[in-house]
């Protein structure tokens, strides 16, 4: 009953690919060169000392999303109900959503940069996944709202 077609709404998810170093760019948006290795010809760029989380391009999916209310058991799945704002339910293992995924519901995913520098803007996501719990017939994903 939880995964009936009439209860589903369109959402987007993006899975974490990797964490990489952030590089400095000049006024024109080009990477700042640190040095070029003369033996290998490899160009090394100046890093900022921070890292960036890279996400795969968001994928649209249909699922039932509901927002926490008074009917939720306080210690459901070992997570206090104050630790999440919404839950998503879909057919068992239908989507590869993990605890590092981002979810868009009220807004469309946006991107930063262009060309090879284009990447998902994680700040445009509405929710971050807190917990993924499969059941006998469906998967339940607990979400926490991201501050914008």
What's the pLDDT tens digit per position in 94-134?
999 999 999 999 999 999 988 777 899 999 999 999 999 99
**Is residue 39 situated within a structural domain?**
no
- The total number of structural domains that make up the chain: 1
Which residues, in sequence order, are CB contacts of 103 under 8 Å at separation 6+? 11, 12, 13, 88, 97, 125, 126, 127, 128, 129, 141, 143
What pLDDT sits at residue 99?
Answer: 94
**Number of residues written out for the chain:** 148
Name the token pair of 59.
């994928």
> Quick one: which of 119, 3, 112, 9 has its CA closest to 57?
119
**Is residue 104 situated within a structural domain?**
yes
**Is residue 40 situated within a structural domain?**
no
**Is residue 33 situated within a structural domain?**
no
**Is residue 27 situated within a structural domain?**
no
- Considering the entire predicted model, what is its pTM? 0.77
Tens of pLDDT, residues 78-104: 555 556 788 899 999 899 999 999 999
Range of the domain at 134: 5-16+55-145
């Amino acid at each position: 009953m939880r995964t009936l077609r009439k209860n589903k709404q369109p959402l987007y998810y993006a899975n974490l690919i990797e964490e990489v170093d952030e590089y400095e760019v000049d006024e024109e948006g080009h990477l700042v060169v640190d040095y070029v290795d003369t033996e290998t010809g490899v160009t090394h760029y100046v890093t900022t000392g921070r890292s960036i989380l890279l996400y795969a391009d968001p994928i649209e999916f249909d699922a039932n999303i509901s927002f926490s209310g008074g009917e939720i058991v306080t210690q459901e799945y070992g997570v206090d109900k104050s630790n999440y704002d919404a839950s998503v339910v879909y057919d068992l293992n239908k989507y590869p959503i993990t605890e590092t995924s981002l979810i868009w519901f009220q807004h469309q995913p946006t991107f930063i940069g262009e060309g090879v520098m284009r990447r998902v803007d994680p700040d445009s996501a509405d929710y971050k996944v807190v917990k993924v719990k499969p059941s006998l017939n469906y998967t339940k994903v607990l979400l926490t709202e991201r501050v914008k």
